[in-house]
Structure 1
Amino acid sequence: MSSPSLPWSLENIDLDGIDLARVRDNEDLFLLLCSASFVESGSDLYTHNLIDHFAGDDELQAWLRDHWEHEEMQHGRALSAYVRHVWPEFDWEAAFKGFFDEYGAVCTADELESSRGLELAARCVVETGTASLYRALNDVTDEPVLKTLTNFIKSDEVRHYKHFYQHFRVYRDRERIGRYRIFRAVLKRVNEIKSEDSDIAMRHVFDRRYPALAGNLAEFRRVTSRAQGLLKRHLPAEMTVKMLLKPLDLPARLHNALEKPLTKITERLFLH
């Protein structure tokens, strides 16, 4: 079987060209990038759950197996390569193993929505979160290689969103899912945006990075809140709201009436 065609490759990331002075001493950026590399590197677990969930849908299963999984895993490889190059003293493999062992125990098919259509709506929320994450990371940094990498990943995540959204529309009509149920599924996943996987990843990064503070919940919250605050100040609020509202398929006038105030609310919640 031939390898999948990917939109970009690791050869496009010039690790030797990294301007270390711009990133080396940024602990917040280290925590964010390393935890993201863990989640992306463990993506084969939830990909396999999704493939099983959509048994019988050959088209969607083929895309998940032959494209989405490979692109997500490439994100993990590229991010881990960047982290290892900038922070070579960090034992990435050992920390990732701890994450993967714990995450593997909780990443189960039980976490998925029973309705395929609602699960695809939830996937749209997740892809909104990842696209927003990498857009924010791109805005946070002025290191050229990292800007290239985060732009590649952000573009992949937006494309993944569009693909899930197309399949969502098919299942929405097939299962006759009303707007209220979609809203509930979207809201549920939004409320879980600080998801279990990213929290587990951040904890394993923190414990390995600061072994003297391992298990110190107060210090963990202090350090990670500072890093998360950096992201929130760069959240692309308008893009995020547009992507979240789309599955609701609201009438144009209602959509337009909600978009601006929701964008302002999002900015107030996250940017101040």
Structure 2
Amino acid sequence: MSHSNALPWTLESLDFNRIDVARVRHNEDLFFLLCSSSFVESGSDLYTQNLIDHFADDQELQTWLRHYWEHEELQHGRALTAYVRCVWPEFDWDRGFNAFWNEYGAVCTAEQLEPCRGLELAARCVVETGTASLYRALHEITDEPVLKQLTNHIKSDEVRHYKHFYQHYRLYREREGFGRYKVFRAILRRVKEIKGEDSDIALRHVFNQCYPQHLGNETEFRRISDRAQGLLRRHIPAGMTVKMLLKPLNLPSSLQNMLEKPLARMSGKLFLH
């Protein structure tokens, strides 16, 4: 598997001075989605290190994680953060991120990873499915040109990351010989984890920073976060999400076709509350 040293795009290729602020500034739901995403992406170095340690003697995968994947994920964080700072300069991003990191850093541990390496790669495919779907949805939601360009860049990166993890997953599946049931269980565990923890922590710390007067008010937090996630759910690319999610199961085509339509109808609920 060959690698290219150059990033597919750079922060410098985005002209933040061209942002049409009036098109996005009023949209609080979009702000919550972008800012929470910037928090998670900016913490990529921690979960990259967890994965590098998990694949201790797989030099090829470790090299890709350390020199390619981590750099691209952190660039996503920098770009999203720069965008948020440009459009909503009054938001104290650093304070919000530090509070998020204190909580997220404590739960983002190696213990969360699947003990079986191949199953962890299946779980990584789930994560990349979620992020590719997220940025594709954000791309559809906005008509602001710079954000449209940025979300398209990130979506393309996440699809490419998915393909890379999937290639390695296939190698480990042959090597470790686990069955489809174990893969299904690993996929389900990671979907639940994403729904219940990662996005929730990030959204909560954006909320806490925006509404300190409602700190600890679960009803008000749910009202704001459900509204933002409702916007996202309406734009989730159903077909793409389901195909990517089912692929590691290596189902017979007849069964795959039978499952795709009903799952596509509920795709908005797969990664969201």
TM-score, length basis structure 2? 0.95
In structure 2, list runs of 5 or more residues that go unmatched: none
Q: Is the CA contact (8 Å cut-off) linking 1:116 and 1:171 kept in structure 2?
A: yes
Deviation at 1:95, TM superposition (A): 0.8
Deviates more, 1:82-91 or 1:196-205: 196-205
Cα separation, 1, equivalents of 2:247 and 2:224 = 34
- Find runs of 4+ consecutive structure 1 residues off by over 6 angstroms: 267-271
Cα separation, 2, equivalents of 1:66 and 1:114 = 24
Q: Is the CA contact (8 Å cut-off) linking 2:38 and 2:78 kept in structure 1?
A: yes
Cα separation, 2, equivalents of 1:136 and 1:104 = 27
Cα separation, 1, equivalents of 2:167 and 2:260 = 21
Q: Is the CA contact (8 Å cut-off) linking 1:32 and 1:227 kept in structure 2?
A: yes
Deviation at 1:103, TM superposition (A): 1.1
SS at match of 2:194: coil
Q: Is the CA contact (8 Å cut-off) linking 1:233 and 1:270 kept in structure 2?
A: no
AA aligned to 1:11 is: E
Q: Is the CA contact (8 Å cut-off) linking 1:135 and 1:151 kept in structure 2?
A: yes
Cα separation, 2, equivalents of 1:250 and 1:173 = 16
In structure 1, list runs of 5 or more residues that go unmatched: none
AA aligned to 1:73 is: L
Distance 1:243 1:105, change over 3 A: same
Deviation at 1:195, TM superposition (A): 4.3
1:128-207 matches, cutoff 5 A: 128-207=129-208
Deviates more, 1:185-194 or 1:98-107: 185-194
Cα separation, 2, equivalents of 1:128 and 1:199 = 18
Partner of 2:7: 6
Cα separation, 1, equivalents of 2:171 and 2:65 = 16
Partner of 2:62: 61
AA aligned to 2:49 is: H
Do residues 76 (structure 1) and 44 (structure 2) align? no
Deviation at 1:60, TM superposition (A): 0.1
Identity of aligned residues (%): 72
1:118-133 matches, cutoff 5 A: 118-133=119-134
Size of the aligned set, in residue pairs, is 269
Cα separation, 2, equivalents of 1:267 and 1:34 = 20
Q: Is the CA contact (8 Å cut-off) linking 2:23 and 2:143 kept in structure 1?
A: yes
Q: Is the CA contact (8 Å cut-off) linking 1:34 and 1:79 kept in structure 2?
A: yes
Partner of 1:211: 212
Deviation at 1:200, TM superposition (A): 1.2
Deviation readout 1:28-76 (Å, 9 max, x if unpaired): 1111100000000001110000000000000000000000000000000
Q: Is the CA contact (8 Å cut-off) linking 1:51 and 1:65 kept in structure 2?
A: yes
1:42-61 matches, cutoff 5 A: 42-61=43-62
SS at match of 1:6: coil
SS at match of 1:193: helix
